[in-house]
Amino acid sequence: MKKTFLFVALAIFSLVGKVHADEGMWLPMFVERLNYVDMEKMGLQLTPEELYSINNSSLKDAIVGLSEGATPRGFFCTGEIVSQNSLMFTNHHCGYGSIQKLSTVEHDYLTDGFWARSFEEELPAEGISASFLVRMEDVTEQIFSVLNDTMSWAERNQAIAAKAAELEAAASEDSKYNPIIKGFFEGNEYYMFVYQVYTDVRLVGTPPSSIGKFGGDTDNWMWPRHTGDFSIFRVYADAEGNPAPYSPENKPLTPKHHLPISLDGVQQNDFTMIWGFPGTTERYLTSYGIDYNVETFYPIIHDIFKLQTDIMDEFMQKDASVNIMYADNKAGLANTWKNFEGQMLMLRKNKVAETKLELENKFSEWVNADPARVEEYGNVLNTLAETYAVLSEVSASVYFPNYVAQTGAIGISGAFTRYVTAAQSKDKEAIAAAEEALKGIDFDVFFAETYKPLEDKMLVEMLKLYYNTFNAEANPNFYNLVEKKYKGDVVALANDILENSNFATPESIKAFIEKPNAKKVEKDPAYIVCNAMVNHLVSGLAPYRAAMQTVDQNSHLFVKGLREFYAETQPEKSLYPDANSSLRMTYGSVQDYQPADAVSYDYVCTANGILEKYVPGDYEFDVPQRLLDLIEAKDFGQYADENGELIVCFLSTNDITGGNSGSPIMNSRGELIGLAFDGNWEAMSGDINFEPRLQRTINVDARYVLFVIDKFAGATNLIEELTIVKSEPATEEVVAE
């Protein structure tokens, strides 16, 4: 007798063996030609038409780009439609700004969460829009038709911009659609994306930040992760289903497609795909660009943003109203500085510059083998090396004074430059016009949503950072001011601004405008510092801009040559363009990883980790008592896995970056199994070089999302609205012989 095991169809794909990490953020319109065979081998059960179609409902119609305004040129996050009433899931950190704006001390949705029990209770999320891709098309030929070899780089860019505007206007159909043309492969191809943009978006639900932001900055980019990083919105339209401004008369949009949500969970090697709007990658960056980033650009921005967020943290933890006020701003700055910190570390540790240099040497050998190639590409790498050296010299003189010049009273004083210039000209009409213009500025806006003790400390510390960064040679005006008038005490200068500047408070500004005096402005300490910053910035701005233009031009040429190099030497290799906030698809599998010797990470983490990390009263690791009770009782309902555990997050090999936050991660049937929300620390170099052994996407499990909505919040009205599916368990049949 022998046993023959007959499995249900859904189990057969375990036979395909271990799937690999698939690098690449692919354009959906090319999925059938470039990716479908590989995806099918890995387990995909959908047809190309079910993935991307411009004539019929397809998976693309459930993917939403999130941005501000009715005519977005890019997307800060991704969402997905999960119901026939356009309920939309995205990350908690993607909805953070809207949640913050809707929060007050009395109704602190950041701290307490929010759950609408009916359409009427949903809150308008002002400033957020939802864009659906109607179609995309190749417009490279139309764009290139206006170019010629005699054009300078600037003339070329002007011609491209003009032609793109013409094509976009024609495709808008009298503003019905929002078309956007973007360059790919460093301007060697151009594609148009036609969107329909809905501006009536409403907050439906959000967990408290102790769930949605659990782990805070400490856990950001780290695994294991136990963050319930989700929030819920809904897209509204007019009676005909068209975009419309907010109105109580609007109705939930009926979408072309929405994603079912699977309760099956994930197993090692399961096929996964993510669709979304990744923001920016630099996969074709040279070794010289990497050196510039690591040694110059990243450290500058890291130090400035880290300083600012530390100051915000100090005051936010003491006052709930200040926490609400600065929450969104601080979250964005903190995410950036920690990202740059990780990139500085991992680009070196993973030897990305060395990897790029190997490719550049091979490229150079290929170029040098043909005189025609030498003529076109022979100087491109040397030029990039020289230009990045220039950027390394001048960047600090652009970025540091730029940020100082935007700080507090220093920044506000800059608004009075036109008035001072008019007064110096002694032109009465110009003076009158300048004075009238000052009266038209709403200076209260400069102070709205600010906390004076925090802003005062920010000004002091920013001036200290600047003073300690540059010597007398770099900015003699500022240095001499501090040394002579304030006896080398930059804090005394900061205090002079805070105590005596006409631009330090709304009241002093309004009083000054009532009786303007140009001499007072010129002698004002904030204005003097602002001028010193502007002079310093201007000294580096011209060479900085010229260098950036040279980098753009030669990067375009390098990638053009690199594509020819690959076409000749590796014709089987498919290239994908860098991310640029256009819709992309990436596919891979559920996988664990081993980041270091004797260290192994599982591909899932459970709610038990929340109990292990829990610190009562800690602003990053505290959690609601109700969540603790549910976890301790293992009261997980239908959302538990086969072992009775609640999976919070899981890992996959998908290739994502910023902008993919909130993207749906789906199984082989196009069902939602989670929301992508982060990358892992060990592969922070991944935006520049994909690291297949290390690179992982961190996803919040769909079952944890549903658990929080259902068991924690009791928002069963939302659960009932969803299409929740679960496969039949695999069966075994014994056949006698």
- Residues 224-236 have pLDDT tens digits of 999 999 999 999 9
Retrieve residue 661's tokens: 């936050």
625/506 same-domain check: no
Closest CA to 52 of 24, 29, 85, 76: 29
Residue 238, Cβ neighbours under 10 Å: how many?
Answer: 16
- Residues 498-521 have pLDDT tens digits of 999 999 999 999 999 999 999 999
Average pLDDT value for the chain: 94
* Inside any domain, residue 323: no
**For residue 444, is pLDDT > 60?**
yes
613/718 same-domain check: yes
538/483 same-domain check: yes
pLDDT on residue 43 = 95
269/398 same-domain check: no
In degrees and rounded to multiples of 5, residue 665 shows phi and psi of -105, 130
Mode of pairing for the β-strands spanning 724-725 and 261-262: parallel
Residue 496, Cβ neighbours under 10 Å: how many?
Answer: 17
Q: Which residues contact 604 (CB under 8 A, 6 or more apart)?
A: 266, 647, 649, 650, 651, 701
pLDDT on residue 19 = 36
What span, in angstroms and rounded, lies between the C-alpha atoms of 360 and 387? 17
Domain that holds residue 592: 9-127+199-281+585-725
Retrieve residue 174's tokens: 């009298």
* Inside any domain, residue 98: yes
**For residue 491, is pLDDT > 70?**
yes
pLDDT on residue 257 = 98
pLDDT on residue 732 = 53
Closest CA to 410 of 476, 497, 483: 497
List the alpha helices (DSSP H) in 126-251: 140-144, 153-171, 209-212, 216-219
* Inside any domain, residue 317: no
- Range name among 53-62, 307-316, 475-484, 697-706 with the lowest pLDDT average: 475-484
Rg of the chain over CA atoms, in angstroms? 28
Q: Which residues are catalytic?
A: 93, 229, 661
Length of the chain as a residue count: 737
What span, in angstroms and rounded, lies between the C-alpha atoms of 702 and 707? 9
Q: For residue 2, name the pLDDT band (cuts at 50, 70, 90).
A: very low
445/526 same-domain check: yes
Burial class (CB in 10 A: 0-12, 13-18, 19+), 486: middle
* Inside any domain, residue 474: yes
What is the rounded average pLDDT of the residues 43-62?
Answer: 96
Retrieve residue 411's tokens: 């920044």
617/719 same-domain check: yes
Q: State the DSSP string of 477-543.
A: HHHHIIIIISTT-HHHHHHHHHHH-TTSSHHHHHHHHHS--HHHHHH-HHHHHHHHHHHHHHHHHHH
539/590 same-domain check: no
pLDDT on residue 653 = 97
**For residue 661, is pLDDT > 60?**
yes
What span, in angstroms and rounded, lies between the C-alpha atoms of 530 and 526? 6
Residue 236 pairs in a beta bridge with 252
Q: State the DSSP string of 376-418.
A: HHTTHHHHHHHHHHHHHHHTHHHHHHHHHTTSHHHHHHGGGHH
* Inside any domain, residue 180: no
CA dihedral 687, 693, 695, 697 (to 10 degrees): 150
In single-letter form, the type of residue at position 341 comes to E
pLDDT on residue 443 = 86
pLDDT on residue 730 = 59
438/377 same-domain check: yes
**For residue 656, is pLDDT > 80?**
yes
pLDDT on residue 474 = 86
What is the rounded average pLDDT of the residues 356-362?
Answer: 98
- Range name among 191-195, 431-435, 471-475, 522-526 with the lowest pLDDT average: 471-475
pLDDT on residue 40 = 95
Domain tally, the chain: 2
525/644 same-domain check: no
Looking at residue 324, the DSSP 8-state letter turns out to be: H
538/607 same-domain check: no
- Residues 249-296 have pLDDT tens digits of 999 999 999 999 999 999 999 999 999 999 999 999 999 999 999 999
Residue found by looking up tokens 């220093």 in the block = 410
Percent of the chain surpassing pLDDT 90: 93
Give the pTM: 0.92
What is the rounded average pLDDT of the residues 662-687?
Answer: 97
- CATH code, domain carrying 246: 2.40.10.120
Q: Residue 349: which H helix or E strand, with range?
A: helix 320-349
Q: Residue 198: which H helix or E strand, with range?
A: strand 189-198
* Inside any domain, residue 343: no
* Inside any domain, residue 337: no
What span, in angstroms and rounded, lies between the C-alpha atoms of 337 and 117? 38
* Inside any domain, residue 286: no
